[in-house]
Amino acid sequence: MTLKNAALLALIGTILMTALLVWTFVFNFLNLLRGLVPAVTLFQSFIYQRMQSTLFPEAHNRGAWRESKSHHPFFRSLLEQE
């Protein structure tokens, strides 16, 4: 598996996870309005959604990834293959 394939799979997984968490948040919000779940459930869903959306931009910042991995021999060999 090349580095580009791994990055593409990570991007797809992150997008799917973000969509799932947003859907869960919306679903919990609608259930809260109907009176089916307590407000704590909505708070927990909000925290999960915010954590994912906060991590999403940093997960695909190629320059920061290169900088953090360039000192390790294994990652340096992967970077040199490109």
List pLDDT tens digits, range 66-77.
556 556 666 666
Mean residue pLDDT of the chain comes to 76
User: Which pair of tokens denotes residue 68?
Assistant: 């953090």
Cα 48 from Cα 25, distance rounded (Å):
9
pLDDT at 82 over 60: no
pLDDT band at 48 (very low <50, low <70, confident <90, very high): confident
For the chain, the three-class secondary structure string (H helix, E strand, C coil) is CCHHHHHHHHHHHHHHHHHHHHHHHHHHHHHHHHCCCCHHHHHHHHHHHHHHHHHHHHHCCHHHHHHHHCCCHHHHHHHHHC
Assess contact for 79 and 66: CB atoms under 8 A. Answer: yes
